[in-house]
């Protein structure tokens, strides 16, 4: 049996709570004496504004109206930008409440607090905002480059073939099931408390405290159950600061919850790239060099990780799983009068995978090679690892051809032509496509854990990560229970509370099991060693060996819990685990589509995923993560697009009427399996999986559609209208 429960499919312990309606999300929590906040938002994307709140302040139940002026009086600073690449100029300040100028539709111009939500809504409508419209003109933020431009120019010059492709990676709205919400309250001694859904309480605390002008130790942040994060809830948002300031002024709790339209207008968006790519090939179809020019829309402001996504997060992965000796990318980041863009599931890696996998398919078409053959000719071979990429990464391991062969087998790639003929007999077009992704995960920042086990076998795990639906309560408890022989029901996972957990990196970048799991394993190992002398004494052995919850010697065995009871004192360990390197999960998606030429409607007929995520802890949880991620990638490929008017910059998709999301009917049964190639740099051999499904899906779907339509390229989303228009043009 594998250590720490690896390979065991255990059902989620938290689901009983969720399925019976006993989950507690941000909006479910109420405090005695709480008041309600309502945000007044700009109707225009760019304007000078004056705000008159006099009438609103006199309305029944109104306790407070905050504008830009009041926030300045309170010493409130701009929202914090968490990352800027080297050489970039300072970002434009992003006020908590805008004034005297607004820079995107939906930007806050006032915050109304009243005794009831209805009173707050009425008063918000009474706030008068006078607009002096300004042109919606994009402008540059900064330019960033990676790679060797002269080397790429030389590769392009000597290439037998240069394949060029222009691509749009459509802007997306995260649309988590649970909207953003927060409840702020004052504490004794001038301290404050914030209850809010997040992907990590310490990030929220440490970014919000300087905005409020207080020390991080003066702000407690608590995160209850979270209904989806996807990168959106990693960073603090302005409404949290508004609620905290209002609570401090009023000396009472203040609650705010977004409605769905507010979410579309103000939740940070994802993607939004326009790229031109050139791939140099020799006469044998081997890749020589890759040149990429990308324009990345940051929105009106640089949000917390907005500048990280199109630069360090994504650009370094543009060469994918291929040996490409020469590489250069130039990223021009621009400001537009739109909602700021930040991390969204995959955060730069889906953009990179989409670009290289579409480009490789175009190269196959142009050179007369099959999509399978051109990839096999250019994969990084297994004996090349560790492999230093031109994107500044070092891949530790990979069996790319093996994984792809498994995907081809499971998808019955060889039998596709028979299925195509069957579709054609019914008047449909059928296509097949594959994509091979790789991503960088985990990082090396490190994660803390405090593990305590009482003599009766009950345990508590304090973690710095935050589950937003992944199943951390199950995964972490499974590791401890399986290794030490404890009962899962007797293990409690505590997360999302700065009062009890001193530090933590939160959840994002598929880091949770890599970093938090590594910390938990280290704590468990320390307990095994701590009790080994007691076990050896009980077994009358010089050194008892440990395996699967038992200390063993030639004379017999005792369980960990028996030794713990004999020791008679609780065990407690607080430690930090820091991985030596990032990890690189990878995998192959094969998609088969059927297109109705009369309507342009696309049906996903078959879908296969084979992933190498290293060693697998819980296959059941893993499949849930991969399938859920693939659904989001399919949504981007076929349906989703956050659209702005090109002239006025007014948002055109600010409700679920306008913004299409994938439904159950859009998704087939997804065949998922793994090829376990253990990570060579992580002690547990794992690689990460939270974003993998999203990264591989979009290029696989578009590759399949291009095959069905017999075209070289089409941009996402491939809506029925877009597909029908292409068919009408090709048939004319």
CA 187: distance to chain centroid? 33
C-alpha span between 113 and 246 (Å, rounded): 8
Q: Which residues contact 353 (CB under 8 A, 6 or more apart)?
A: 317, 320, 435, 437, 438, 439, 695, 696, 698, 699
Residue 681 lies in a domain: yes
Q: Percent of the chain scored above 90 by pLDDT?
A: 99
C-alpha span between 427 and 290 (Å, rounded): 40
602-612 and 670-674 beta bridge pairing: parallel
Structure tokens at 341: 């863009």
Same domain, 524 and 618: no
At what angle are helices 201-212 and 238-250 packed, to 10 degrees? 60
> Per-residue pLDDT for 47 more than 70?
yes
- Which domain CATH number covers 52? 3.90.1170.50
Structure tokens at 416: 């596709």
pLDDT of 561-586, one tens digit each? 999 999 999 999 999 999 999 999 99
Residue 56 lies in a domain: yes
Same domain, 436 and 506: no
pLDDT of 167-208, one tens digit each? 999 999 999 999 999 999 999 999 999 999 999 999 999 999
Would you call 659 exposed, middle or buried from its count of C-beta atoms within 10 A (0-12, 13-18, 19+)? buried
- φ, ψ for residue 440 (rounded to 5)? -95, 135
In this prediction, residue 1 carries a pLDDT of 74
Give 254's strand partners. 35, 184
Residue 421 lies in a domain: yes
C-alpha span between 53 and 69 (Å, rounded): 12
Same domain, 434 and 466: no
- Comparing C-alpha atoms, which of 236, 242, 329, 337 is closest to residue 277? 329
Same domain, 124 and 214: yes
In this structure, what DSSP letter does residue 341 have?
Answer: B
Mean pLDDT of 319-338: 99
Same domain, 604 and 697: yes
Structure tokens at 355: 């670009």
Confidence label for 729 from pLDDT (cuts 50, 70 and 90): confident
Q: Percent of the chain scored above 70 by pLDDT?
A: 100
CA 95: distance to chain centroid? 25
Which residues of 439-570 form beta strands (DSSP E)? 447-453, 459-463, 491-494, 545-547, 550-553, 556-559
Same domain, 373 and 469: no
Structure tokens at 24: 């507690």
Residue 338 lies in a domain: yes
CB-CB contact of 3 with 518 (8 Å): no
From residue 216, give the alpha-carbon distance in Å to each of 151, 188, 242, 573.
47, 15, 17, 25
The domain of 654 spans 273-442+582-731
- φ, ψ for residue 342 (rounded to 5)? -150, -165
Q: Is the dihedral of CA 58, 61, 63, 69 positive or negative?
A: negative
Q: If DSSP codes are grouped into helix, strand and coil, which group holds residue 588?
A: strand
Mean pLDDT of 670-699: 98
* Angle at the Cα of 108 from the Cα atoms of 106 and 111, rounded to 5 degrees: 135
C-alpha span between 414 and 595 (Å, rounded): 20
Mean pLDDT of 673-701: 98
Mean pLDDT of 430-459: 98
In this prediction, residue 555 carries a pLDDT of 84
Mean pLDDT of 299-316: 97
Q: If DSSP codes are grouped into helix, strand and coil, which group holds residue 628?
A: helix
Domain boundary among 577, 602, 617: 577
C-alpha span between 184 and 232 (Å, rounded): 20
Residue 446 C-beta-side C-alpha neighbours within 13 Å: 7
Domain count within the chain = 3
> Per-residue pLDDT for 731 more than 70?
no
- Comparing C-alpha atoms, which of 497, 487, 502, 496 is closest to residue 454? 487
CB-CB contact of 695 with 626 (8 Å): no
Domain boundary among 577, 610, 640: 577
CB-CB contact of 688 with 601 (8 Å): no
C-alpha span between 327 and 280 (Å, rounded): 10
Mean pLDDT of 315-330: 99
Mean pLDDT of 395-419: 99
Residue 150 lies in a domain: no
> Per-residue pLDDT for 730 more than 80?
no
C-alpha span between 616 and 639 (Å, rounded): 32
In this structure, what DSSP letter does residue 286 have?
Answer: -
Same domain, 97 and 203: yes
Same domain, 368 and 454: no
Domain boundary among 553, 577, 601: 577
Same domain, 363 and 398: yes
Residue 340 lies in a domain: yes
Same domain, 259 and 321: no
What is the C-alpha radius of gyration for the chain, rounded to an integer number of angstroms?
A: 27
> Per-residue pLDDT for 453 more than 60?
yes
pLDDT of 527-557, one tens digit each? 999 999 999 999 999 999 999 999 999 989 9
Q: How far apart are the first and last CA of the chain?
A: 63
Same domain, 339 and 252: no
Same domain, 451 and 436: no
- Comparing C-alpha atoms, which of 232, 256, 233, 252 is closest to residue 243? 256
Residue 500 lies in a domain: yes
Q: If DSSP codes are grouped into helix, strand and coil, which group holds residue 269?
A: strand
Residue 398 lies in a domain: yes
């Amino acid at each position: 049996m594998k250590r720490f429960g690896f390979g065991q499919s255990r059902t989620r312990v938290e689901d009983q709570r969720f399925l019976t309606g006993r989950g507690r999300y941000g909006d479910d929590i109420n405090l005695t004496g709480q008041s309600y906040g309502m945000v007044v938002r700009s109707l225009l994307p760019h304007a000078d504004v004056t705000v008159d709140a006099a009438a609103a302040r006199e309305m029944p139940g109104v306790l407070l109206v905050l504008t830009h002026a009041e926030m300045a009086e309170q010493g409130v600073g701009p929202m914090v930008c968490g990352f800027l690449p080297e050489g970039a100029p300072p970002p434009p300040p992003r006020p908590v409440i805008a004034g005297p100028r607004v820079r995107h539709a939906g930007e806050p111009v006032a915050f109304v607090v009243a005794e009831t939500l209805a009173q707050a809504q009425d008063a918000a409508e009474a706030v008068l905002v006078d607009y002096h419209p300004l042109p919606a003109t994009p402008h540059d933020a900064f330019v960033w480059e990676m790679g060797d431009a002269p080397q790429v120019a030389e590769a392009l010059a000597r290439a037998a073939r240069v394949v060029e492709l222009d691509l749009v990676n459509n802007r997306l709205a995260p649309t988590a099931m649970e909207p953003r919400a927060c409840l702020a309250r004052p504490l004794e001694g001038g301290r404050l408390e914030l209850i809010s859904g997040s992907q990590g309480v310490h990030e929220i605390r440490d970014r919000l405290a300087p905005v409020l002008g207080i020390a991080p130790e003066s702000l407690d942040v608590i995160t209850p159950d979270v209904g989806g994060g996807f990168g959106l809830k990693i960073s603090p948002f302005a409404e949290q600061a508004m609620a905290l300031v209002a609570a401090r002024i009023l000396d009472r709790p203040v609650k705010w919850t977004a409605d769905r339209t507010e979410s579309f207008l103000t939740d940070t968006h994802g993607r939004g790239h326009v790229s031109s790519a050139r791939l140099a090939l020799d006469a044998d179809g081997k890749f020589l060099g890759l040149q990429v020019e990308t324009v990345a829309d940051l929105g009106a402001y640089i949000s917390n990780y907005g500048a990280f996504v199109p630069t360090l997060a994504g650009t370094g992965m543009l060469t994918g799983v291929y040996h490409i000796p020469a590489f250069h990318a130039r990223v021009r980041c621009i400001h537009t009068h739109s909602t700021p863009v930040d991390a969204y599931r995959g955060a730069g890696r889906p953009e990179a995978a989409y670009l290289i996998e579409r480009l490789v398919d175009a190269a196959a078409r142009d050179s007369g090679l099959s999509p399978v053959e051109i990839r096999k000719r250019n994969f990084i071979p297994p004996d090349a690892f560790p492999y230093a990429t031109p994107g500044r990464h070092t891949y530790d391991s990979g069996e790319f051809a093996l994984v792809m062969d498994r995907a081809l087998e499971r998808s019955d790639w060889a039998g596709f032509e028979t299925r195509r003929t069957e579709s054609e007999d019914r008047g449909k077009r059928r296509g097949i496509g594959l994509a091979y992704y790789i991503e960088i995960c985990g990082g090396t920042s490190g994660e803390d854990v405090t593990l305590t086990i009482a003599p009766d076998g009950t345990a508590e795990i304090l973690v710095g990560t935050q589950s937003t639906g992944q199943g951390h309560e199950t995964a972490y408890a499974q590791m401890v229970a399986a290794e030490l022989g404890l009962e899962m029901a007797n293990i409690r996972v505590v997360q999302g509370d700065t009062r009890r957990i001193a530090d933590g990196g939160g959840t994002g970048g598929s880091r949770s099991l890599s970093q938090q799991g590594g910390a938990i394993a280290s704590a468990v190992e320390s307990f095994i060693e701590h009790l080994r002398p007691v076990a050896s004494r009980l077994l009358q052995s010089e050194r008892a060996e440990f395996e699967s919850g038992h200390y063993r010697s030639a004379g017999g065995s005792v369980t960990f819990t028996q030794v713990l009871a004999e020791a008679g004192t609780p065990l407690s360990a607080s430690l930090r685990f820091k991985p030596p390197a990032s990890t690189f999960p990878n995998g192959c998606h094969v998609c088969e589509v059927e297109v109705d030429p009369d309507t342009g409607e696309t049906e996903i007929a078959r879908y296969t995923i084979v992933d190498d995520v290293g060693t697998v802890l819980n296959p059941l949880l893993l499949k849930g993560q991969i399938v859920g991620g693939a659904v989001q990638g399919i949504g981007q490929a076929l349906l989703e697009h956050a659209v702005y008017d090109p002239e006025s910059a007014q948002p055109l998709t600010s409700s679920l009427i306008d913004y299409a999301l994938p439904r159950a009917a859009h998704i087939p049964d997804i065949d998922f399996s793994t090829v376990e190639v253990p990570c060579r740099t992580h002690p547990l051999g794992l690689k990460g999986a939270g974003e993998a499904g999203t990264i591989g899906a979009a290029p696989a779907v578009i590759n399949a559609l291009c095959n069905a339509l017999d075209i070289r390229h089409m941009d996402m989303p491939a809506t029925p209208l877009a597909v029908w228009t292409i068919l009408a043009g090709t048939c004319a």
